[in-house]
Structure 1
Amino acid sequence: MTAEPMLPAEKVNRVAGLLADRVRQYDATRDNRAAFAYTYFRLTTTLATALDKGTPVFHDPPWVAELCETLASAYFRAMDSTDAWLAGRRGGSADEVEPTDLPDSIPKPWRDVYAASSVRRSYLLEDVLFSMMAHISYDLPGALRHMAASTDVRGHIADFQRMNDVLASCIDTVQDDLSARYITGLGELDKLFTRSDELLTNYGIRVARGLAWYNCDRLMDPDSTEDASRSIGNSTAAFISEIRAPDDWKLRTGLWVLRRLIPDRRHWPAASAPLA
């Protein structure tokens, strides 16, 4: 007797389950990657609920589920490669590293993210912002390009926009729950991130994912593939630099002072704490 194929909502829930496993793993080892894994888990469960309820009405739910799976696979590969590197490294994840310390098996944006999160004065919100940037600006165009080899991606732009609407609509709630789970005084950190935390807003999610669609088109155009690959490979490092070392010396100095006045305030949930 053959098993019945999984429904789109079930496939997305399966991805959410794998993300939940990552959250528990990173929480247990107090790995700074936990905050983004939790954010990603919550966004994915929201998408699964939308598919299950049929609100909004997607034209091609299986395509939506496939994109979710393909995109998550890119994230899991990057994290697995990072784990493999950490397993063979003296000191584990305790030491500060440079992007060049990490192997090429990890995509450059994720090397940039891991190195940025390893510094002493790294904030939880930074960990989420930098990871979100790598995942949307680098992984998402690549996932769309991969799917374009077998499906008409451009014909699914309406469903892609519906996905954007679903994910953007819950980002404020997710950020509140992120704060409750991992950090005390998230409002204080707004002093550091007032120029750069738009990515974790309703509008920011829509814009970032829309740019990813555009960059997928660039990747598929032979005349722009090389430039597009270089651009999306470097965009996360540029984003990190914009936050950590802005060009304006007055702003750079002010941020340097604030970093020494405002503690990280990161805390870790109990092992029994529910994820949602």
Structure 2
Amino acid sequence: MTTEYTLPAERVTRVAELLADRVRQYDAAHDRRAAFAYTYHRLTTTLATGLDTGSPVFDDPPWVAELCETLASAYFSAMDSIDAWLAGRPDGSTDEVQPRDLPDSIPPPWRDVFAASSVRRSYLLEDVLFSMMAHMSYDLPEALRRMATSTDDRSHIADFHRMNDVLASCIDRVQDDLASRYIRGISSLDRLFTRSDELLTNYGIRVARGLAWFNCDRLLDPDAAEEASRSIGRSTAALISEIRSPGDRKLRAGLWILRRLIPDRRHWPAPGTPLV
């Protein structure tokens, strides 16, 4: 009896298809999680194309596919836990919440992200930026740690770096398509409210993923694991605080005023709109 082998590109394509299902689900419900799901879908599709075409050439394509699947499973698990919690709220209420209002079944960074996106003046780029932070600073090192205990002893850092190249190379194009899909008017205005979107750039993707590799090593070191776990658990909240409530009092007051003067301008694609 033989076990059917699935090509790595097909495995990653399947992840992209599952992400596409989430985009359609969130679009239909006008759920603010749609923008990051769309971004994640596009990045995963790009990785699947790279595996399919052999550009770049990975040393261990099955490992690349496994990392994609392991990482996505963490995201799906967190979103499913949020959905279960939402289903239990009175009348499906989507009022503003605090991280402490969400259950422990949701990882702390994702509680921080969901709470931040629930406020009335949450801008689309913030929703994507905060979600990207949770996924890269928390989910990714945890996924790498899990794989390090279950795979062979070979170093996969070269393939990890090649993945960084593939994902980083398309982020500018994905941002443009994201704006076309979800933002009315001049999309660059959203950057005013984050003051910076370095994480959503070619360089930012590389740095964030490189830091995740480093934090995985810390998680695997018994002497460093406890502090590493605390650190990755609070990184997203720190970013949200830096953007929403900067230390400079004048800047904080100015942003407070601007948030009340300039609307979100978010819109939702018509049903059946292609994901590109």
Q: 1:208-247 residue pairs with structure 2 within 5 A?
A: 208-247=208-247
- The corresponding residue for 1:172 is 172
**Mapped contact 2:182–2:268 kept (Cα < 8 A):** yes
Q: How much does 1:134 deviate?
A: 0.2
Summarize deviations over 1:4-31 as a string: whole Å, max 9, x none. 3110000000000000000000001000
- The corresponding residue for 2:190 is 189
**Mapped contact 1:145–1:216 kept (Cα < 8 A):** yes
Equivalent position SS for 2:156: helix
Q: In the alignment, residue 190 of structure 1 is paired with which amino acid?
A: R
Summarize deviations over 1:82-108 as a string: whole Å, max 9, x none. 001111111425211110110000000
- The corresponding residue for 1:44 is 44
- The corresponding residue for 2:263 is 263
Distance 1:55 1:218, change over 3 A: same
Q: In the alignment, residue 64 of structure 1 is paired with which amino acid?
A: V
Q: How much does 1:186 deviate?
A: 1.1
Distance 1:54 1:93, change over 3 A: farther
Q: 1:15-54 residue pairs with structure 2 within 5 A?
A: 15-54=15-54
**Mapped contact 1:23–1:38 kept (Cα < 8 A):** yes
**Mapped contact 2:36–2:131 kept (Cα < 8 A):** yes
Please say if 1:128 is aligned against 2:128: yes
Matched residues in 1 for 2:147 and 2:173: separation? 30
Distance 1:49 1:259, change over 3 A: same
**Mapped contact 2:141–2:213 kept (Cα < 8 A):** yes
**Mapped contact 2:125–2:191 kept (Cα < 8 A):** no
**Mapped contact 2:113–2:236 kept (Cα < 8 A):** yes
Summarize deviations over 1:208-253 as a string: whole Å, max 9, x none. 0000000000000000110000000001000100000011112111
Q: In the alignment, residue 271 of structure 2 is paired with which amino acid?
A: A
Matched residues in 2 for 1:20 and 1:106: separation? 22
Please say if 1:110 is aligned against 2:85: no
What is the TM-score when the length of structure 1 is the normalising length?
0.97
**Mapped contact 1:110–1:134 kept (Cα < 8 A):** yes
Q: In the alignment, residue 203 of structure 1 is paired with which amino acid?
A: Y
Q: In the alignment, residue 112 of structure 2 is paired with which amino acid?
A: D
Distance 1:217 1:44, change over 3 A: same
Matched residues in 1 for 2:178 and 2:129: separation? 12
Matched residues in 1 for 2:213 and 2:29: separation? 35
Corresponding pairs, count: 275
Summarize deviations over 1:111-145 as a string: whole Å, max 9, x none. 00000000000011110000000000000000000
Q: In the alignment, residue 192 of structure 2 is paired with which amino acid?
A: K
Matched residues in 2 for 1:234 and 1:74: separation? 17
Matched residues in 2 for 1:269 and 1:252: separation? 33
Q: How much does 1:191 deviate?
A: 2.1
Q: In the alignment, residue 210 of structure 1 is paired with which amino acid?
A: G
What is the TM-score when the length of structure 2 is the normalising length?
0.97
Q: How much does 1:152 deviate?
A: 4.4
Q: In the alignment, residue 5 of structure 1 is paired with which amino acid?
A: Y
**Mapped contact 1:145–1:220 kept (Cα < 8 A):** yes
Matched residues in 2 for 1:109 and 1:86: separation? 17
Equivalent position SS for 2:266: coil
Distance 1:93 1:24, change over 3 A: farther
**Mapped contact 1:144–1:153 kept (Cα < 8 A):** no
Q: How much does 1:153 deviate?
A: 6.7
Matched residues in 2 for 1:93 and 1:78: separation? 19
Sequence identity (%):
78
Unaligned runs of 5+ residues in structure 2 are none
Equivalent position SS for 1:155: coil
Distance 1:261 1:83, change over 3 A: same
